[in-house]
A and B are shown apart, each in its own frame.
Chain A
């Protein structure tokens, strides 16, 4: 069987009941999708199947013959980050980074489907994604920013720090 992975047609030799996550990581050597729980409960393994976010750990690869699968590797490169990836960097939306590929993939699908910067809608869209580090606030802020902005300043230097100024007393 075949899938189109990040735009390239790939032949799959794993048995049809193998979870897509294991096919990606073990057979195709594409490792952005993470094995968090392998039971559908964390979202770290999320990839796009024909443009829609899906848990790769719950997806038997045999159901995907002819489908287009997009992983984080298909969204941007280190030199050319996607808007969502830039927003994650600019807003410090990743700490350990384990949940980040799933978050970015799901956020991309949400925005591609016309999702807005409404924070409740973003929380609902990413309701299946667990992050143990960030407290979610920065992730939601980053996605909200990416809803209205496609370029972010990533050149944070001592001369041009990313400073937040707040004024006012108690």
Chain B
């Protein structure tokens, strides 16, 4: 069966080609989709390749940052915490150069383990996602976006450089998997603290109970357990995650406290 493959050369052409997104498989850097096709898990009928769509950019204006969906993970690895250190921790340098920020946000949640390490920092930064699809272009928070990310074409992400940020993750035995568990913290301009975790649910989640207890890092660590949906998977057991999540929360809170 022949596959209809579209390779648009502008953002407008990409949006038009995507349409309402029905039956369209988006190919970003391809580090996930191409192997899914090789293994036969994914058999697209229509594919939209974004490689030439002009969506790779990091724009800074004052403390505001906008990152195009096709920006390689490498290009955000030197940004501030928690995003920069998290990006620098993804895969290895060849994967980081090919993997995109948009593809990471949209990484499917396989049964073996959650995926998409950058979702945590983006949640903590309260990034907004500009996307297109049915009903045209729209902008929403990452938190909202993560509830329906299959049905949109991501164009770019915007967020503010925080007053302070921190990222802590369980170390990995090798670079072939997302981290088993990671926590991101952000201190915003108004002094409020936002916390998010990856590996503590099917996608990254905000740790709102921990945020409410942020003045006391130890209590916040325990409170985080109420926000999480810890599972056994190929990377770690729920038992282990339950012991590590409070620790990581404490670490990032102590780190941003000092700023």
Contact = CB atoms under 8 A, between A and B. Distances in A.
Nearest to A55: B94
A60 B103 CA distance: 15
A43 B97 CA distance: 14
Interface in B7-45: 7, 27, 29-31, 33-35, 37-39, 44
Given A15-B5, A39-B35, A128 B94 contact: yes
A16 B7 contact: yes
Given A59-B30, A60-B49, A39 B39 contact: yes
A128 B90 CA distance: 11
B98 A127 contact: no
A59 B33 CA distance: 10
Contacts of A127: 92-93, 175
Interface residues of A, number: 26
A55 B37 contact: no
B17 to A, nearest CB: 13
Contacts of A106: 94
A60 B92 contact: no
Contacts of B34: 17, 19, 57-60
Contact of A63 (B44, B51, B97, B175): B51
B148 interface: no
Contacts of B47: 16-17
Contact of B5 (A17, A38, A124, A128): A17
Interface stretch (A24-32, A46-54, A72-80): A46-54
A41 B95 CA distance: 9
A124 B74 CA distance: 14
A57 B38 contact: yes
A63 B38 contact: no
A54 B92 contact: no
A124 B7 CA distance: 33
Interface string B32-66: 01110111000010010101100000000000000
B94 A46 contact: yes
Contacts of A15: 2-3, 5
B94 A43 contact: yes
Interface in A11-45: 15-17, 19, 38-41, 43
A31 to B, nearest CB: 18
A128 B51 CA distance: 23
A125 interface: yes
A39 B176 CA distance: 10
A137 to B, nearest CB: 18
28 contacts: A15-B2, A15-B5, A17-B3, A17-B5, A17-B27, A17-B34, A38-B35, A38-B38, A40-B31, A40-B176, A41-B176, A53-B94, A53-B97, A55-B94, A55-B98, A58-B34, A59-B98, A60-B27, A62-B5, A62-B7, A63-B7, A63-B27, A63-B51, A63-B52, A124-B93, A127-B92, A127-B93, A128-B94
Interface of A: 15-17, 19, 38-41, 43, 46, 52-55, 57-60, 62-63, 65, 106, 124-125, 127-128
